[in-house]
Chain A
Amino acid sequence: MPTIYIDNKPYEVKAGKNLLEASLGLGFDLPYFCWHPAMGSVGACRQCAVKVFKDEQDSSGRLVMSCMESVKDGLRMSITDSTAKAFREQVIEWLMTNHPHDCPVCDEGGNCHLQDMTVMTGHDYRRFEFKKRTYTNQYLGPLIHHEMNRCIQCYRCVRFYRDYVGGDDLDVFGAHNHVYFGREQDGILQSPFSGNLAEVCPTGVFTDKTLKKHYTRKWDLTTSPSICQHCSLGCNIIAGERYGQLRCIVNRYNSNVNGYFICDKGRYGYEFVNSVNRITEPLIRTRPVEAVDEATAMGHLKSLVTSAPVIGIGSPRASMESNFALMQLVGKDNFYQGISDDTAYLERRIVELLQTGAVNSVALKEIEAADAVLVLGEDIWNTAPVMALAVRQAVMKTAAAQAAQQTSLPAWHDAAIKEFVQNEKGFLANITVIASPIDAIAAFSEHEAPDNIARLGFAIAHLLNAAVPPVPGLTEREAATAKNIAGALQQAKRPVVISGTSCYNEGIIKAAFNISLSLNRPERKAGIAYVFPECNSMGLAMMKAPPFETAMQRVKTENNCTAVILENDLYRYMPEGKADDFISHCGNLIVLDVLHNRTTAQAQVLIPAASFAEADGTLVNNEGRAQHFYQVYMPANDRIKESWKWLGNIKNMKATITNGLQHHPDEWLAALETTLPQFTNIAKVTPSHNFRINGQPVPREPHRYSGRTAILANISVSEPRPLQDDDSPLTYTMEGYPGLPPASMTPYFWAPGWNSGQAVNKYQAEPGGELQEQDQQVCLFPGKEQENFHFFKDSPEAFAARQDKYLLLPQYQLFGSGELSIYSTAIEELVPQACIILSAKDAADLGVVNGAPVTIEKNELHYTLPLKIHDELCSGIILAPVGYRGIPALPWGAWVKIMV
């Protein structure tokens, strides 16, 4: 490790870093704007100037931009040098000549990198007497607010938007001091990662538009570490509350999962928590006055769960604790998965494959580091957007890494590397049903029917390992593609195969496993990632409960069953008739949920469940990584409780003994470990609820939290006792442990002098690295060192279009397919129109044009939507929107008729 001298003191730093990264990693305060740990340096803002000296005798030195200078052994630099300090102060002063006087009305205020850096450099008085430049703003859609006057021309936004996420509708226009960052004309930003601009922009040019509607300063938010609930990736987020409402979501850095960025669905999909559609009181529908108090509800529930046989229906979006509490309440044999049998079957297959330990289930960080990626049948852009972003980084960084090897360019030197790389890219093969934006960076993009995708996968696996039998009847084109892809994967050192459940095709899952297994060699660690539909689908699948069909049989044979449905809208997963059938056969229906839906409407007893922001819980993401989310605020009333709390209370009421019962999340997880051994280690995901650091809890409120004696003064001038959180080591006050909490319990990123989210560099061991207090990461699929794994040898038959029948497959939409995110007004505005997608050939055969109404018909079921013709879709397949509000579940994977 090279040693550098900063202000004459020696420090050991990592080779290959620049001086800015090294200084920040050592804990120095050095201002910067254009540099970003995820995007590298371009040296544009001139803010991070330091003095570098030739040798010990050199006293004059030279000014350099620390972000553009590599670490060298024995290098001598000075941060505190007066020339460097004066230079940095002058740079800020120049930037501020045109910065408007509007911090009080700027949403970035108090969370602003520019404010922090201005204070850090010491610039405090405006000497420039002339007029300020102004710009007109643009409408950029419902997610991002634009206020161009505040721009300091650091170019971070376009580097992020164009280079990092690959968007093309935000650009820089104009010349000299008139440069303008925006769109060519007003319009909605197209990238699903545009929300990150609010965090990337060091000042208030791009701000969160949904936060603006109920604006709260960062220092006034009660925040907790949480986990995104909108897809199976489990991105880490910080959720903030004020006045009993969830106010905003920001990214929570986790080097292994989401890094610095999250998608717009995660950032803006939070408003369902504040929705008027929330269930707030326990309802007993058989009574004249339906809303009842807790004691009455509990009494009623007790009589229900003790009189008749009780079955439980689990949920892919409820936490592990809640699902397990239900399983404990009804008994292991009476607990069923509340999802369609097909999905349950596929998920179970995946769990079994991953549990063999033959393949490595990879984290997003490892996907980002992959040098070859094969996507098999999953539309990750829509089902797992941050994974698509990781795939993009894999593709872009592979080329950059190769370039860095060929030349002496350091990896952080973004502009130079880009110039050198030009259009070179790493290897990505995107084999899916429908075209996706990541096709643009893919070496191969094929759009095929699911069976053909599986066959292609088998063919690739055959080429990689002869133990996989050849696929009969491949076309020449398929054979050539398979050969090319297999060749590229063969050469890769860290290949990753991505697949998922959204094609309703077992062959694809097997093919992906075959490829990953055949690539996995001692010299080469291959990874696999299966995308799941919901945030805890993996957790539910790992419980290995019987599918819904079994529950159906059960209620039909045993009349008068009481069914407890946990946070699950049956109509989302089951065709209408089936769900109706089930409900009509239940003697009593008890439903716990967050929002009203078709299932809750038919419940005899409806119990208000806490949303993720009001709950503690654990989710298992698609990788098998268990992550804990913490309560952000107390629910509006004490009847709204976490499902596990309700279910646990009912169970405890039945119990005859009082010791050994579970009351807190950590106790539920410990019981889960002992009951279901596949969850071994999951209890390590969170410390005990009475864990303290030096006897102190972790405060949810920053030390500048305001209004403590006035917030509730309109109700009563006597302040109530601070809220007590018995379930976690976090507290609802400003008082508590002032140092860095364990990484998974970080409620906010703040450091002295660093009020904005960029304070994360004070929490990291090194910029872009792990968090300093990184606690145990729980992955439930440990790899195993053994040989004799078996390949699947049953490649499916080639897909053949049928006469008058079409294979019905789901079309996921990032905005629209989510059950909860749709309740955010901003996201609702962005939902694409629901339509049925057919290939151009089929449409021509049927004689329909774009926009014509098309009806899907299957077993008396009719559903009509306008048509959209897709050129790259293969013939014989019909795609319909999944999960849209008001559109019921369709028989996915079935052959349906079409009426024109």
Chain B
Amino acid sequence: MLQNILPGGGVSLMFSNLRTMWLVFLHLFRKKETIQYPEEKIKLHPRWRGRIVLTKDPDGGERCVGCYLCAAACPVDCIALQATEDENGRRYPEFFRINFSRCIFCGYCEEACPTYAIQLIPDFEMGEYNRQNLVFEKEDLLINSEGKYPGYNFYKVAGMEAGVKAKGKGDNEELPVDVKSLLP
């Protein structure tokens, strides 16, 4: 009957319970896992998906070319931008707005970005008392760093000329063809 009520046997179960209590009690003397935030900071993985930034090329230009892929990839539609271009034909965002009160930090924008411009960094300390302050404009997003992908410059590998390299001078490019030549 006892087995029916107390699986595993009544007496052994009671001792098991007492043993459990003892073992739990011993935890009193263990090291505590609590991190005393904010005095003590947590160490986050470099790929941790936190605050979104816009990075710069090695030459200091904006990496973002305003292709709108991040905005299209965003499942909560919290990215809006307008592309424009400078006198060399180099594209950059005229404005770039992320509504962090909607952002779910899924990282799809980073995955969609063909120029490594938009990156999620290990920073989550973005609390605000006023929701309006969670709307970040380009000035708030742009950082003076190459972020996780040092050395990459989209215009070096893209075919077009935008003041970074002349036609045919990019990586893996031949010099422009001479249309008048009939040589093979």
Contact = CB atoms under 8 A, between A and B. Distances in A.
Contact of A100 (B67, B137, B159): B159
B72 A147 contact: no
Contact of A104 (B98, B154, B184): B154
A348 interface: no
A312 interface: no
Contact of B68 (A135, A136, A137, A220): A220
A826 to B, nearest CB: 16
B80 A710 contact: yes
Given A105-B65, A706-B72, A713-B135, A134 B176 contact: yes
Contact of B80 (A214, A704, A711, A716): A711
A174 B177 contact: yes
A63 B43 CA distance: 61
Contacts of B79: 706-707, 710
A147 B159 CA distance: 9
A149 B173 CA distance: 11
B36 interface: no
B180 interface: yes
A709 B76 contact: yes
Interface in A660-699: none
Nearest to B162: A105
Interface in A138-179: 147, 149-150, 173-176, 178
Interface string B108-136: 00000011000000000000000110110
A133 interface: yes
Nearest to B161: A137
B114 A707 contact: no
B80 A706 contact: yes
A708 interface: yes
A215 interface: yes
Given A178-B179, A713-B97, A220 B115 contact: no
B178 interface: yes
Interface string B155-171: 00111111000011000
B16 interface: no
B144 interface: no
A466 interface: no
A717 B135 contact: yes
A716 B135 CA distance: 9
B91 interface: yes
A102 interface: yes
A477 interface: no
B160 A710 contact: no
A173 B132 contact: no
Contacts of A105: 65, 67, 91, 158, 160, 162
Given A219-B72, A717-B132, A149 B160 contact: yes
B159 A150 contact: yes
Contacts of A784: none
A134 B167 contact: yes
Nearest to A136: B176
B181 A134 contact: no
Contact of A101 (B83, B85, B159, B176): B159
Contact of B177 (A110, A133, A711): A133
A28 interface: no
Interface in A72-102: 100-102
Interface footprint category on A: 35 or more
Contacts of A713: 78, 80, 97, 99, 101, 135
B172 interface: yes
Given A132-B173, A709-B102, A711-B80, A176 B184 contact: yes
Contacts of B168: 134
Contact of B172 (A103, A132, A180, A704): A132
A104 B177 contact: no
A714 interface: yes
Interface string B8-51: 00000000000000000000000000000000000000000000
A102 B158 contact: yes
A710 B72 contact: no
A453 to B, nearest CB: 46
Nearest to A147: B160
A554 interface: no
Nearest to A133: B174
A217 interface: yes
Contacts of A175: 182
B160 A220 contact: no
B71 interface: yes
A243 B178 CA distance: 43
B175 interface: yes
B53 interface: no
A173 B82 CA distance: 37
A103 B114 contact: yes
A548 B76 CA distance: 57
A103 B112 CA distance: 13
Interface in A745-790: none
B74 interface: yes
A214 B84 CA distance: 6
Interface in A192-234: 212-217, 219-220
B77 interface: yes
A109 interface: yes
B132 A716 contact: yes
Given A149-B160, A220-B71, A717-B101, A707 B179 contact: no
A147 B162 CA distance: 12
A135 B102 contact: no
Given A100-B158, A135-B167, A710 B97 contact: yes
B69 to A, nearest CB: 7
A217 B68 contact: yes
A178 B174 contact: no
A137 B168 CA distance: 12
A867 to B, nearest CB: 39
A101 B157 contact: yes
A131 interface: yes
B137 A178 contact: no
Contacts of A101: 157-159
A213 B101 CA distance: 31
A220 B174 CA distance: 35
A135 B82 CA distance: 29
Given A104-B154, A131-B174, A132-B173, A710 B78 contact: yes
A511 B15 CA distance: 117
A215 B78 CA distance: 19
Nearest to B95: A714
Given A104-B154, A134-B167, A710-B79, A717 B179 contact: no
A178 B132 CA distance: 55
Given A131-B173, A217-B68, A704-B72, A710 B77 contact: yes
A706 B77 contact: yes
B173 to A, nearest CB: 5
Nearest to A173: B179
Interface string A707-726: 11111011011100000000
Contacts of A173: 179-180
A722 to B, nearest CB: 12
Given A105-B67, A217-B72, 20 more contacts: A100-B158, A101-B159, A103-B67, A131-B173, A135-B177, A136-B176, A137-B161, A150-B159, A174-B179, A178-B178, A178-B179, A215-B84, A216-B83, A706-B77, A710-B97, A711-B80, A713-B99, A717-B101, A717-B132, A717-B134
Interface of A: 100-105, 109-110, 131-137, 147, 149-150, 173-176, 178, 180, 212-217, 219-220, 243, 704-711, 713-714, 716-718
18 contacts: A102-B160, A105-B91, A110-B72, A134-B159, A134-B175, A149-B159, A176-B184, A180-B177, A180-B179, A214-B82, A217-B68, A220-B72, A704-B72, A710-B98, A710-B99, A711-B80, A714-B97, A717-B135
Interface of B: 65-69, 71-72, 74, 76-85, 91, 97-99, 101-102, 114-115, 131-132, 134-135, 137, 154, 157-162, 167-168, 172-182, 184
The 5 A-B pairs with the shortest beta carbon distances in the complex, nearest first, are: A100-B159, A707-B80, A104-B67, A706-B71, A710-B80
